[in-house]
């Protein structure tokens, strides 16, 4: 995490009192409670107490599940009380801007694409697709160039990591290169 | 002096050509990622974990230490020249350092940062050399209940000190704990929370969570809020390196920074934000030319925080090596690296693997020297790294993430989980949840559970076993104190 250092002169506060209403993410509390319930359910179907060890494998997960439920409720209370949920500062990211949905979904696509591409078409091509999609999310319109650079990067990674260092990355299955 | 003997032996190990090579690779890599945004030492080490399983552990850890220290140096370079701190410990440096650079004194700022980092790093490593074996001896006194209490303290501190609110810190922690609990229970062989998937029997892969939280989450977040910034390079020309007066003004802040950084870095949730902030405040109060702060840029404001930063990085290694207790996200990943090799940091590591431990400590000295050399004359080169267009930089980070995740076991499920965790990481950034507690929960959680069950087994089920020993009772009281501290502070201050 990093943030822009504060200037000596007072800077205008554009963070929370901008044109957008402050976020009230009640769904966060609900999501945490839901997760907690899932963990509780999973935990309670396990043996709780083993004869020799007092607490069985289900104990810790149950504690975690219960903890998440309680925390989810506390979160809902915090949201209801109007606690501020400001986006974090990050380099290159302007926390005061409204987020771009297009960029969001393009980046998600960049992450999801390899799931479908990597086994049939190999790593270098998957890398090219991810590379180009991510670059596009950041505003690049030179898609062909991005695909080319991504492919080069993918091949370089494949040579380095798969051939030299022993990880298992498929090369180009249609041609039988593992 | 037993420690000196061991250290001498460690130097023999660290000075072997291969280990020197790894130290160099680590330092270069560390500086590069310290300079670049979007990727930090935690993620880099995590991505290298699958690769380094092929390597000799000593070389691997020497490289990781190089990355850790190198990132400190690299982060301060961008702080000073471009007002963009490469990592959180460099935020304070940017305050005065960038002002100095804008007045044409960038070279002096860089020099004081690098030299201060070197001095602090070396001093702190000396303390580490003598403190580590002693603290490791202490660990023999620790029983399971004490270890459990210590981990509770780490959990509480990380969740309460970082971040906007304790509730959010704990949510992050419990998310990490929840992820850590998935898989086969080591003590009973029972499958837990695997949702019927055979792939999840081994639990969630650490690299998947790390790449998801850091690389994917960060990329989605930055992409959705990207302003297309144009970076202006501050010219280094027009700056003399350090004058005699600069040296005179810097040496005390260097020492004070080290004194602040090392102990705080060693504490749970110490990190580097607190010591650097404290150092800045102290230097500002003590500086004779106080008016330079916030205007031309005071060199004390660079010297102190930079020293504090590096001393804190060495401080983090103390509890990690001696007790196996990680006190920062990067330390947690280093712990995971130890586990990967089947090694357990702690007194037994000092006994059974002295080559590794002392070779590592010795290479810290060497690394500091390498980094001083790499950073001072070659600053111009590092800064040019920032000319990489942002779209390509983040696209490259995604590609490396996929290498790390898929290269492990070739599982599309891992890739899908990476995206899911990435979305969670995105949400955490949007709604200001700290990320470090999740990491600590996932890595330390299973160990905490083991200690808890062991303690309860020994105590035959009585929960009082957890507070029986004076050590565990004290530590747990401390944990409660940390938990309640913000509430108490708020009550004491008028609204």
Residue A52 has pLDDT above 60, yes or no: no
Q: Where are the domains of chain B?
A: 2-492
Chain B residues touching A4 at Cβ < 8 A: 83
Of A65, A74, A161, the CB nearest to B167: A74
Q: What are the angstrom distances between the C-alpha of B493 and each of A8, A81, B165, B489, B490? A: 26, 20, 17, 6, 5
Residues B353-393 pLDDT 10s: 888 888 888 888 888 888 888 887 877 777 777 778 889 98
Q: Do B407 and A130 touch (CB under 8 A)?
A: no
CB B212 within 8 A of CB B417: yes
Mean local confidence (pLDDT), B48-58: 82
Domain boundaries of chain A, sorted by first residue: 1-7+24-97, 101-175
Helix/strand/coil for A5: coil
Banded model confidence at residue B92, pLDDT cuts 50, 70, 90:
confident
Interface of A with B in 127-156 (CB under 8 A): 127, 130-132, 134-140, 146, 149-150, 153-154
Count of beta carbons in the 10 Å neighbourhood of residue B399: 27
Q: What's the gap in Å between the CA of A101 and the closest CA on chain B?
A: 7
Span B126-155, mean pLDDT? 84
Residue A27 near chain B (CB below 8 Å): no
Q: Which of residues 286-305 of B touch A (CB under 8 A)?
A: 294-295
Residues on chain A touching B181 (C-beta within 8 angstroms) = 39, 60-61, 64
- What is the average pLDDT score of chain B? 84
pLDDT surpasses 70 at B234: no
| 6-25 in chain A: CB under 8 A from chain B | 8, 23, 25
Q: Is the ipTM of this complex over 0.85?
A: no
Question: For B462-487, how does the pLDDT look when each residue is reduced to its tens digit (9 = 90+)?
Answer: 778 788 888 888 888 888 888 887 77
pLDDT over threshold 60, residue B147: yes
Tokens read off for B312:
């804190």
The pair of structure tokens assigned to A7 is: 């200037």
Q: Between A128 and A21, whose confidence is greater? A: A128
Instruction: Specify the range with the lowest mean pLDDT, choosing from B57-61, B185-189, B291-295, B341-345.
Output: B291-295
Note whether B226 contacts A: Cβ–Cβ < 8 A.
yes
CB contact under 8 A, B423 and A108: yes
Asked if B63 and B52 count as a contact pair (C-beta separation under 8 A), the reply is: yes
* Per-residue confidence (pLDDT) for residue B131, from 0 to 100: 85
Query: What residues in A contact B432, CB-CB < 8 Å?
Result: 85-88
| CB neighbour burial string for B79-112, b if at least 16 within 10 angstroms, e if fewer | bbbbbbbbbbbbbbbbbbbbbbbebebbbbbbbb
Nearest to B155 by CA among B135, B170, B133, B138: B170
Pairs across A and B, CB distance < 8 A: 266
C-alpha distances in Å from residue A137, one per residue of A103, A118, A125, A147, B423:
4, 21, 18, 13, 15
Inform me whether the C-beta atom of residue B466 falls under 8 Å from chain A C-beta atoms.
no
> Are B395 and A131 an interchain contact pair (Cβ–Cβ within 8 Å)?
yes
**Which one of B190, B226, B410 has the shortest CB-CB distance to A138?**
B226
Do A57 and B407 lie within an 8 Å CB cutoff?
no
């Amino acid at each position: 995490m990093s943030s822009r250092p504060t200037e000596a002169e007072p800077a205008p506060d554009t963070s929370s009192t901008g044109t957008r209403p402050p976020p009230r993410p009640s769904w966060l509390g609900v999501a945490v409670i839901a997760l907690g319930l899932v963990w509780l359910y999973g935990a309670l179907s396990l043996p709780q107490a083993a004869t020799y060890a007092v607490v069985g494998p289900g104990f810790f997960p149950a504690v975690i599940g219960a903890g998440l439920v309680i925390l989810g409720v506390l979160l809902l209370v915090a949201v209801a009380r109007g606690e501020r949920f400001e986006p974090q500062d990050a380099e290159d990211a302007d926390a005061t801007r409204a987020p771009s949905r297009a960029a969001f979904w393009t980046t998600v696509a960049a992450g999801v694409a390899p799931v479908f591409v990597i086994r049939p078409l190999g790593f270098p091509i998957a890398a090219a697709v991810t590379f180009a999609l991510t670059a596009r999310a950041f505003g690049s319109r030179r898609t062909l160039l991005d695909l080319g650079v991504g492919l080069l990067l993918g091949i370089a990674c494949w040579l380095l990591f798969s051939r030299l260092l022993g990880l298992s990355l498929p090369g180009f299955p249609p041609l039988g290169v593992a | 002096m037993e420690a000196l003997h061991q250290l001498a032996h460690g130097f023999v190990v660290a000075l072997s050509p291969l280990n020197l090579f790894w130290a160099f690779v680590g330092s270069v890599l560390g500086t590069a990622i310290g300079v670049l945004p979007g990727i930090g030492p935690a993620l880099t080490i995590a991505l290298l974990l699958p690769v380094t399983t092929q390597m000799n552990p000593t070389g691997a850890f020497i490289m990781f230490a190089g990355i850790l220290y190198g990132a400190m140096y690299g982060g301060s370079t961008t702080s000073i020249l471009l007002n963009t701190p490469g990592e959180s410990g460099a935020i304070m440096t940017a305050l005065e350092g960038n002002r100095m650079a804008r007045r044409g004194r960038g070279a002096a700022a860089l020099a004081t940062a690098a030299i201060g980092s070197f001095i602090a790093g070396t001093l702190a490593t000396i303390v580490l050399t003598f403190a580590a074996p002693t603290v490791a001896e202490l660990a023999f006194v620790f029983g399971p209940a004490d270890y459990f209490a210590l981990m509770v303290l780490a959990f509480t501190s990380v969740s309460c000190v970082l971040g906007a609110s304790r509730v959010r810190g704990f949510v992050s922690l419990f998310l990490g704990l929840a992820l850590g609990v998935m898989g086969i229970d080591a003590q009973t062989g029972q499958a837990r929370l695997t949702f019927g998937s055979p792939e999840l029997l081994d639990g969630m892969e650490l690299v998947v969570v790390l790449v998801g939280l850091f690389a994917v989450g960060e990329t989605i977040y930055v992409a959705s809020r990207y302003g297309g910034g144009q970076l202006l390079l501050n010219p280094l020309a027009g700056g003399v390196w350090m004058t005699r007066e600069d040296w005179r003004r810097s040496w005390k802040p260097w020492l004070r920074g080290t004194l602040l950084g090392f102990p705080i870095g060693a504490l749970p949730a110490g990190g580097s934000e607190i010591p650097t902030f404290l150092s800045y405040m102290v230097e500002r109060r003590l500086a004779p030319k106080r008016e330079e702060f916030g205007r031309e840029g005071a060199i004390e404001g660079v010297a102190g925080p930079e020293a504090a930063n590096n001393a804190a990085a060495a401080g983090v290694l103390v509890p990690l090596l001696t007790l196996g207790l990680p006190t920062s996200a990067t330390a947690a990943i280093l712990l995971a690296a130890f586990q990967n090799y089947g090694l357990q940091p702690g007194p037994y590591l000092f006994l059974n693997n002295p080559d590794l431990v002392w070779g590592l400590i010795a290479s810290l000295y060497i690394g500091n020297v390498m980094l001083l050399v790499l950073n001072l004359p070659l600053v111009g080169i590092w800064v040019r790294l920032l000319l990489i267009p942002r779209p390509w930089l983040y696209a490259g980070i995604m590609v490396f993430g996929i290498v790390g995740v898929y290269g492990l076991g070739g599982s599309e499920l891992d890739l899908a989980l990476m995206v899911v965790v990435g979305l969670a990481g995105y949400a955490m950034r949007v709604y200001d949840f700290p990320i470090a507690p999740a990491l600590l929960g996932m890595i330390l959680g299973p160990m905490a559970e083991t200690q808890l069950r062991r303690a309860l087994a020994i105590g035959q089920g009585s929960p009082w076993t957890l507070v029986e020993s004076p050590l565990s009772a004290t530590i747990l009281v401390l944990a409660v104190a940390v938990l309640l501290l913000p509430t108490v502070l708020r009550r004491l201050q008028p609204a």
